[in-house]
C-alpha cells in the first residue's frame, strides 16, 4: 500500500485554519493530480468555496462528532474516495492522540501547522493550557493571526518556546503583513563552561535540550541534582537520575531522567535517593532507553538534600 501524505492544520475555532486551507487549495502549485480528501472536523463561520480551488479531485467530508474519528471510519473514507492525499482541519477541542490512534497505517504526517487568533490566544492559554500545549507540541509552524502592533511578541514567544523550540513562529498582522519570530532563546546555563552547572529550576530545560540536541553535548561535562531510580530495567552499574517534570498541568507530571554509569563511586543507591552528579556526557545504546541516547559517565557522585521544589517545569 502506498503512503498517503497527510497535511494537518490545528487550532481553535476562528483561528484562520479554513482561510489558509482555502488559499492553499487555490494555489496552482498544489495541483499534482492526486485525489485529495479534505477532512473537516469542525465548522466555523467561514465556509469553503470549492469552485475557487485550483486543485482538482477534492472531496470534502465533515465529521460531526469525535466518535466518527476512529480507525474503521478513516479507512473507509480513504478507500471510498480513493484518497492519495489527506488535508485535515482538526477540531481545536480534540486531543491529537485521538487522531493518531485512528490513523490508517497508510497515512503519513507530512506537515503540521497550528493557527491561533492573537486576540484570544493568551486567554486560551490561561484557561485551556492543555489544549494549547497539545496543538503546539508537535507542530512545525505556529501562526498568530490578526496580530496587532500593540501586542507584546515576547509573551507569545515564551508560551510557544515553553512547549517546544522546534516550530517556526509567524506573526500575521491585520492587512496581510507577516513577520517571522527572530527572538533568541538563551539557555539558562552556560554550555561552554568547563562544567555545565544546572540549577534545580533549570533541569527541565536541560532535559529537553538533551532530548533534542544530545549529540552536540558529547564529551562535555555537567553537574546537577536529581532523584535516583533503580529497577530491573536499569543495567547493572547504572542508575537513572532525573526529576519529576510538569510539561502542561499536574495531570501530566512524569519522571524523566538520564542513564548514569555510577563507576562504583557510591554504593547502595536506592530509588528516591537524592544525588548530585558530575559526569561526562556520552551518546550510546542503553537499555534504559532501549535505543541510543545520552549516557552520563559519573566522575563524582554524592548524596544530596531534596530540593524545596521537587517538581520542575519549563516556565
Category of 14 on φ-ψ map: left (φ > 0), alpha (ψ -120 to 50) or beta: left
Backbone phi and psi for residue 249, each to the nearest 5 degrees, phi listed first: -150, 175
Place of cell 478513516: 74
Any residues with CB less than 8 A from the CB of 213 and at least 6 apart, and which? Answer: none
pLDDT, residue 188, reads 87
pLDDT, residue 309, reads 87
Category of 263 on φ-ψ map: left (φ > 0), alpha (ψ -120 to 50) or beta: left
End-to-end CA distance of the chain: 44
Sort strands 58-62 and 178-180 into parallel, antiparallel or unpaired.
Answer: unpaired
Q: Please tell me whether the overall predicted TM-score, pTM, comes out greater than 0.95 for this model.
A: no
Mean pLDDT across 148-152: 94
Cα 17 from Cα 15, distance rounded (Å): 6
| Contact present, 26 and 53 (Cβ < 8 Å) | yes
Positive or negative torsion for Cα 65, 71, 74, 77: negative
Query: Which of 270, 254, 250 has its CA nearest to residue 262?
Result: 270
pLDDT, residue 2, reads 84
Q: Is 281 exposed, middle or buried (0-12, 13-18, 19+ CB in 10 A)?
A: buried
Cα 95 from Cα 55, distance rounded (Å): 29
Is the pLDDT score of 1 beyond 80? no
| Contact present, 117 and 88 (Cβ < 8 Å) | no
Sort strands 238-246 and 254-261 into parallel, antiparallel or unpaired.
Answer: antiparallel
Bridge partners for 226 per DSSP: 275
pLDDT, tens digit (0-9, with 9 covering 90-100), for 82-139: 999 999 999 999 999 999 999 999 999 999 999 999 999 999 999 999 999 999 989 9
pLDDT, tens digit (0-9, with 9 covering 90-100), for 179-219: 999 998 888 899 999 999 999 999 998 998 999 899 999 99
Query: Which of 109, 112, 100 has its CA nearest to residue 71?
Result: 100
| Contact present, 243 and 226 (Cβ < 8 Å) | yes
pLDDT, residue 315, reads 61
Amino acid at each position: 500500500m502506498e503512503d498517503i501524505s497527510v497535511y494537518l492544520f490545528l487550532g481553535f475555532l476562528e483561528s484562520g485554519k479554513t482561510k489558509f486551507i482555502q488559499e492553499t487549495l487555490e494555489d496552482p502549485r498544489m495541483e499534482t493530480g492526486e485525489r485529495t480528501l479534505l477532512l473537516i472536523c469542525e465548522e466555523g463561520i467561514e465556509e469553503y468555496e470549492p469552485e475557487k480551488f485550483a486543485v482538482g479531485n477534492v472531496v470534502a467530508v465533515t465529521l460531526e462528532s469525535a466518535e466518527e474519528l476512529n480507525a474503521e471510519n478513516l479507512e473507509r473514507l480513504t478507500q471510498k474516495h480513493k484518497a492519495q492525499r489527506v488535508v485535515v482541519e482538526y477540531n481545536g477541542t480534540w486531543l491529537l492522540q485521538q487522531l493518531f490512534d485512528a490513523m490508517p497505517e497508510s497515512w503519513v504526517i507530512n506537515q503540521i501547522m497550528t493557527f491561533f487568533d492573537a486576540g484570544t490566544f493568551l486567554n486560551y492559554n490561561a484557561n485551556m493550557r492543555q489544549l494549547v500545549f497539545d496543538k503546539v507540541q508537535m507542530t512545525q509552524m505556529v501562526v498568530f493571526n490578526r496580530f496587532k502592533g500593540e501586542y507584546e511578541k515576547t509573551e507569545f514567544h515564551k508560551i510557544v518556546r515553553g512547549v517546544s523550540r522546534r516550530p517556526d513562529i509567524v506573526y500575521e498582522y491585520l492587512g496581510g503583513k507577516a513577520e517571522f519570530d527572530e527572538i533568541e532563546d538563551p539557555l539558562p546555563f552556560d554550555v561552554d563552561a568547563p562544567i555545565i552547572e544546572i540549577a534545580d529550576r533549570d533541569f527541565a530545560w536541560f532535559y529537553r535540550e538533551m532530548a533534542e540536541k544530545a549529540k552536540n553535548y558529547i564529551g562535555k561535562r555537567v553537574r546537577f541534582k536529581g532523584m535516583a531510580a533503580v529497577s530491573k530495567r536499569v543495567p547493572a552499574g547504572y542508575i537513572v537520575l532525573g526529576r519529576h517534570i510538569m510539561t502542561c498541568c499536574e495531570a501530566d507530571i512524569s519522571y524523566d531522567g538520564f542513564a548514569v554509569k555510577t563507576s562504583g563511586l557510591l554504593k547502595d543507591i536506592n530509588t528516591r535517593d537524592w544525588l548530585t552528579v558530575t559526569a561526562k556526557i556520552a551518546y550510546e545504546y542503553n537499555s534504559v532507553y532501549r535505543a541510543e541516547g545520552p549516557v552520563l559517565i559519573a566522575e563524582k557522585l554524592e548524596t544530596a538534600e531534596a530540593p524545596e521544589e521537587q517538581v520542575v517545569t519549563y516556565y
